[in-house]
Each structure stands twice: as structure tokens, then as C-alpha cells.
Chains A and B, each alone.
Chain A
């Protein structure tokens, strides 16, 4: 369970999140809002990439401020631009990076690498240079690089913004099949089909917290 208690986040004089309190227990949670509404900052709070200026964020009881390393092990994070998330020159090498950080033995790294490449139909690209992958393949690699670390939660910050329709559908299908709790910040409302809960952000506040059936029409009307 993710517990957020009276969280305020400010960069200097600029407050980007105002007194947010909520618990997240559902398996599929969407975060929507206009650019600059605070949804990316909120997402980054969830794995301790950003620490609250006041209040607390706890993941299964672990405070992000005190237990950052453990929290990052529990909460995987996928960024908007996969080019900035892939840090090794080839596909297999990049997949191994997170697992090496977890100090997994070599044979386990090899086994998990094979499994995730097969799962996303990337086996032929094992030794392929990362910079030559297509946009969709890069985002799948970025997601795979996080999933091999076996996080309990997966937070994704606009993972389909740079993708075409085919690759967006590919990512959506990949997310749908995940056993993990998924928290997805997005502008693509179609991705939230079948989600359990949607948070609507506006100017650093949650202005709606409901099922997609109720939250999405509310958001669309607000943006009109």
C-alpha cells in the first residue's frame, strides 16, 4: 500500500503540490492532468526520486525519506523518454544494469535477461546497439530494465508520449499483462481503460479521485 500524508512539494518559492493525503491500494491507478499540473512530480514522489518538502510518503510502511534504497527496490520507475533511461550501449547490457545493482549472481542475470527478452519479443535484439532500436523497442527495453528488478509497484511517467499508435498499443498490452501494481501518469486517456482508479491533478491539487467512468468525463469537461 502507498500512503501519502499531508504532502507538500515546493521548488524554492514555487509550490507544485499542495497538502495531498491519500492511500493507494488498487492494482491500476491513473494520473491525469494538464502540463504543469503536478502529476509528474507526484509520480516522482512515489519512488523517492523527489522527497516531499513536508509530509510523508510511505511504500508498504517504508518512508521514502528514510528508506530510499529499499523504496526504489520496491517501486520501479519508467520515464517519458526511454533514451534517457537506457544507460548501457546494448540491449542485454542495459537489462543487466539494474540487476547488477541488486547484486544478483551472473547466472540469474542471464536467465532473467533471456526471459524478459522472450516475453517482449526482443530476443533477436539481445546484442543490438540501444541507439539503433525503434521508439517502441526502446520503451519496451526501458520497461524491461525495470521489470527484471522485480518491483512490486511500477510507476510510469507518460511512457507513450513519444510513440506512434502501434507502439502505444504494444505498451498498453504489456502494461495490462503485468502482475505488479501500475501507476500511470499519462495524457492518453485510452490507456486508462480498465483501470481501477484515476486521480485528476490541477495546479498541484487533486481535483477528482474516482473511477475512470467518472473521472475521465470530469477531466475532459474541465479541459474544454
Chain B
């Protein structure tokens, strides 16, 4: 969700996040209930067809799977050794279909729309003391500041490297923690300055 969203005008882009999340949850559960390789293969092909419907390419789909390639290899090898080639293929294809389906939701849904939907759904928990707006803002902030924290860590690492401290965890962790806390204060001020009301 950090920068996965691909702008578009496809039916999947137009669909509100609620139904997409529900379909993803239902399909994900169904994938774990079926024990048939052809059905899982069919689900995978259907998911890839949905990528086309969303104006995305096979390459876009493969990019979603690439970070998990080592896990696929481990699963494939382990299942092949324990249960044979059919079950190994079944497990890996099922995992791939699940990941592609979840990625498709994030690729076709703006983070703000997703957060709005989650916030609305959390309104049901208001009687339990949950403040949906606060949770929504927390998710937004997490999505926004993960790359910023990554940049801060890189900056501090480079600075410590010039001082010969690249191997010291404390020399990196401490300045990062201090800068992050200072940044958190500034962000809180900025949110307040832009009219955010935590009681809303």
C-alpha cells in the first residue's frame, strides 16, 4: 500500500474497497477449503485474468511475487521432499493465488479509500471504546512514514560510516530513535495545525 496503487479507470478501480476486501476474504478462505490442484490452478488463472481486467500486466503480477521467491523455493522443496510433486505444486500455487489476489486489491485501491473503509467498519467497535478516526489516522501515518524512517536510517548509517561506526548498532539506533521522536513531535503539531480533532 506504500506506493502500490496504480491509478486506473477499470471496473476494479471503480469498485469500492468494502466489496473488494470481502471478496478477497471469501476467496482466500475458499482457497484453503479446496483440496484440488485444478481448482487452485483455475483460481490462479482467474486472478491473473482480473489483473488484465484492471489494466495490469503479467509483469506487474510477477513483481508482487518476487519478494517472496525464497519462501516459494523453500515451500516447494520441503513439500516435494515430504509429499511429492503434486502437493508441492498445490501449496505453492495456492500461496501465489492468495498473494496475487491481496496485491490486486491494493493495486486498485487508493490507500485513503482503504483507510476510510476500515474506519467505517471500525465504527461498529465504538461501544468498546475504539476511536475509528484515530485508528485510520494511525494507519495513514504508518504508511506515510515507513519510507521516511527508512531514509532517516540510511542517512544516519551513512553519517556513522564516515566516522568508522558502521558496525555499531547503537551508533545507528540511538540517533534514529532521537530523530524519530523529534519528528513525531513535529508531526503531531502539523496534524493539529491542519484542524484534526481526535474527538471527531
Contact = CB atoms under 8 A, between A and B. Distances in A.
Interface string A44-58: 100101000000000
Most A C-beta atoms less than 10 A away, residue of B7, B183, B194, B195: B194
Interface in A11-45: 44
A88 B111 contact: yes
Contacts of A47: 193
Nearest to A68: B192
Interface residues of A, number: 35
Size bracket, chain B contacts? 20 to 34
Contacts of A127: 5, 7, 110
A73 interface: yes
A77 interface: yes
Contacts, number: 92
B194 A83 contact: no
Contacts of A131: 3, 144, 147-148, 151
Q: Binding site of B, secondary structure by majority: helix, strand, loop or mixed?
A: helix
**Which 9 residue pairs of A and B lie closest in terms of their CB atoms, listed nearest first?**
A129-B3, A101-B195, A84-B186, A93-B112, A77-B193, A131-B147, A85-B190, A98-B194, A127-B7
Interface of B: 1-3, 5, 7, 110-112, 137, 140-141, 143-144, 147-148, 151, 183, 186-187, 189-197, 200
21 contacts: A49-B192, A84-B183, A87-B191, A89-B1, A89-B2, A89-B144, A92-B110, A93-B111, A94-B144, A97-B194, A101-B194, A101-B195, A101-B196, A102-B195, A126-B7, A127-B5, A127-B7, A127-B110, A130-B144, A131-B151, A146-B193
